[in-house]
């Protein structure tokens, strides 16, 4: 495994592989890797000749300076993990090389798909995500790119972008990885205090129960939403950003629960903002 | 020469060439080709193994419906010309395939580079240009792409975008081609009435004279600008959109004329809006 930080160096290495018709799998990350990332990387290694993982805490997708500054990192541990998983190249670009002083180009996806859910409270977040992912795709030229379904909106936004801009990459969404007690893995979980860590379980629990309600025949999205909101509001230190029941690909609100449905939520548990979601197929 | 209108069909053909390490040259156009386009195509044919020319009147870059609807076209003549020039593939995509109903992704370059000159009066124009050029680059994957210096701002914007988004393409700006009497070639010139065609000569004349003034030692951009504006305003049917003296790469206003300088103008001569410019190197 090789760690490369210069953009042009990685381009040269990967273009040779590309021309040699080797399939390139890519997992973009912001580091501080957990088992969720590892599940993406394992799949990439299995399905491709070459696997590239990027570690880059992208400043343009943070809407709060504090969130950016407190974002956890442990590069040494990340690199050990990626080596053990059989990754070929770790890309650790420099902020200054990714965003020069003259930098002024952004990729933006308009409409509900970026304005709802996390987009409503995180102004400019998906513009930052789409821009950095476009840059990374242009540098890596992956055949397949792997994204965790935990960031369900990110998967929907990136899939839309790839179609709209005719990019040569297949987006592979991968299932959420959870702790045994249900908590969705997140690099932000380390920011939770012990009591908050227990409180946070209500997020996954309420989603699982909502799924059961739907499977028992509930078709009214308002009732489902109210059920989750009420449950979370029993906690003193929980502050709901959103709880939404939407069409899984367009992210548009639905009133009747049918087809591919996404229930997504974002909740502050103390300081950290946690997200979780569940996808349900209703025939 | 082969004409292809389906995106995926062109991708398959060109990926094979790309993997075969054939150099791909690309000339994006909106059709109704003239000698200016021909000069780009000749250079592309000379410098590459494969030359692709696209003909697509891109709706997202028109700020006026009337301008879009009156934009001239002659596909049959264009195709004959391109065949004679030795082009390999003509790409004539369908509007509905380029922009599906769900289309919502745009590439935008922020700052003076898109807000000044043509960007000031043509809201959204460069966003439309950057978006379609990104799409075309992703479809064609050219090694080199050729753009006319007549659209000097377009060259600056696309060059900025390619750098910012780490695209694998070299942008080749090519000199303005003019009629013998100095009028810069443009597909819009056919929209000029006979008397307007004569009036329009004042644009290139004033630019050439401004260049002479600078070469004789004039360093004050205000004096140069006033000279051009006064000259154009002697015409009854001319309506100035802008006359600007700017840094040739950032397009920022300059007061002292030095380095790489661009004098650019856009003027309505009757209904048609014509643009022209001249680049001057002042040591």
Q: Where are the domains of chain B?
A: 2-174, 187-282
Fold of A2-174: Rossmann fold (3.40.50)
Determine if residue A148 is labeled as part of a ligand binding site.
yes
Strands B50-55 vs B24-29: parallel, antiparallel or unpaired: parallel
Contact assessment for residue B232 and residue B203, using Cβ atoms and an 8 Å cutoff: yes
What letter does residue A57 receive in the DSSP assignment? -
Mutate to test the interface with B, among A15, A102, A104, A168 (most CBs of B within 10 A): A104
Chain B closest-CA separation from residue A260 CA (Å): 18
Q: Are A2-174 and A187-277 in the same CATH fold? A: no
Determine the residue of chain B that is closest to A96 in CA distance.
B164
Judge whether A10 is closer than 8 Å to chain B, CB to CB. Answer: no
Residues of A in contact with B159 (CB under 8 A): none
Q: Quick one: which of A262, A51, A62, A15 has its CA closest to A172?
A: A51
Determine if residue B208 is labeled as part of a ligand binding site.
no
Scanning B162-221 for CB atoms below 8 A from A yields 163-168
pLDDT digits (tens, 9 = 90+) for B91-139: 999 999 999 999 999 999 998 899 999 999 888 999 999 999 999 999 9
- Report d(CA B38, CA B35) in Å as an integer: 5
Verify whether residue A37 is a known catalytic residue: yes
Two tokens, residue A204: 């996954």
- Report d(CA B121, CA B231) in Å as an integer: 22
Q: How many residues can be counted in chain B?
A: 283
Q: Which of B4, B26, B37, B44 is flagged as catalytic? A: B37
Average model confidence (pLDDT) across chain B: 96
* Contact yes or no for A166 and B139 at CB 8 A: yes
Per CATH, domain A187-277 is 1.10.10.10: no
- Report d(CA B71, CA B65) in Å as an integer: 10
Q: Quick one: which of B186, B118, B184 has its CA closest to B157?
A: B118
The CATH number fitting domain B187-282, selected from 1.25.10.10, 3.30.565.10, 3.30.1300.10, 3.40.605.10: 3.30.1300.10
Mean pLDDT of B63-71: 88
> Which has the higher per-residue pLDDT, B215 or A67?
B215
Chain B closest-CA separation from residue A237 CA (Å): 38
B196-201 own/partner pairs: CB under 8 Å, 24+ apart: B196/B237, B196/B269, B196/B270, B196/B272, B199/B235, B199/B237, B199/B238, B199/B269, B200/B269, B200/B274
Predicted local distance difference test score (pLDDT) of residue B66: 86
Average model confidence (pLDDT) across chain A: 96
Residues of B in contact with A110 (CB under 8 A): 104-106
Percent of chain A with pLDDT over 70: 100
Positive or negative: CA dihedral B130, B135, B138, B141: negative
- Report d(CA B27, CA B1) in Å as an integer: 15
Tell me: pLDDT of B249 over 90.
Answer: no
Choice among A42-51, B66-75, B214-223 with the minimum mean pLDDT: B66-75
* Closest by Cβ to A19, choosing from B21, B102, B108: B21
Please list the residues that pair with B178 across neighbouring strands.
B184
- Report d(CA A112, CA B209) in Å as an integer: 53
Tell me: pLDDT of B150 over 90.
Answer: yes
Contact assessment for residue A277 and residue A150, using Cβ atoms and an 8 Å cutoff: yes
- Report d(CA B16, CA A101) in Å as an integer: 37
Q: Which residues contact B142 (CB under 8 A, 6 or more apart)?
A: B24, B25, B26, B52, B169
Predicted local distance difference test score (pLDDT) of residue A64: 86
* Contact yes or no for A138 and B165 at CB 8 A: yes
Judge whether B96 is closer than 8 Å to chain A, CB to CB. Answer: no
Residues of B in contact with A168 (CB under 8 A): 11, 15, 138, 141
Mean pLDDT of A141-155: 97
Confidence of residue A34 (pLDDT cuts 50, 70, 90): very high
Confidence of residue B17 (pLDDT cuts 50, 70, 90): very high
Determine if residue B33 is labeled as part of a ligand binding site.
yes
Please list the residues that pair with A266 across neighbouring strands.
A242, A275
Two tokens, residue B170: 């070299």
Tell me: pLDDT of B237 over 90.
Answer: no
Mean pLDDT of A249-262: 94
Mean pLDDT of A90-102: 97
Q: What is the CA radius of gyration of chain B?
A: 19
């Amino acid at each position: 495994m090789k760690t490369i930080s210069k953009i042009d160096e990685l381009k040269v290495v990967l273009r040779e592989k590309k021309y040699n018709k080797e399939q390139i799998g890519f997992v973009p990350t912001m580091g501080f890797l957990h088992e969720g990332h590892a599940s993406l990387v394992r799949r990439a290694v299995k399905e491709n000749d070459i696997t590239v993982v990027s570690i880059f805490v992208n400043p343009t997708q943070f809407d709060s300076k504090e969130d950016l500054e407190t974002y956890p990192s442990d590069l040494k541990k990340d690199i050990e993990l990626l080596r053990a998983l059989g990754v070929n190249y770790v890309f650790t670009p420099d902020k200054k090389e990714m965003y020069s002083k003259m930098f002024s180009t952004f990729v933006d996806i308009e409409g509900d798909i970026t304005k709802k859910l996390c987009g409503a409270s995180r102004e400019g977040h998906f513009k930052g995500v789409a821009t950095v992912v476009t840059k990374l795709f242009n540098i890596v030229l992956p055949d397949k790119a792997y994204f965790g379904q935990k960031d369900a909106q990110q998967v929907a936004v990136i899939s839309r972008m790839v179609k709209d801009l005719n990019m040569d990459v297949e987006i592979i969404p991968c299932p959420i990885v959870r702790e045994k007690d249900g908590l969705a893995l997140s690099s932000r979980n380390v920011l939770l205090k012990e009591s908050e860590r227990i409180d946070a379980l209500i997020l996954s629990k309420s989603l699982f129960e909502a799924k059961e309600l739907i499977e028992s025949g509930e078709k009214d999205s308002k009732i489902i939403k109210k059920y989750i909101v009420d449950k979370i509001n029993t906690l003193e230190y929980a502050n709901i950003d959103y709880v939404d029941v939407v069409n899984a690909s367009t992210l548009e609100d639905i009133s009747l629960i049918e087809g591919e449905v996404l229930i997504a939520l974002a909740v502050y548990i103390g300081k950290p903002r946690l997200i979780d979601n569940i996808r349900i197929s209703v025939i």
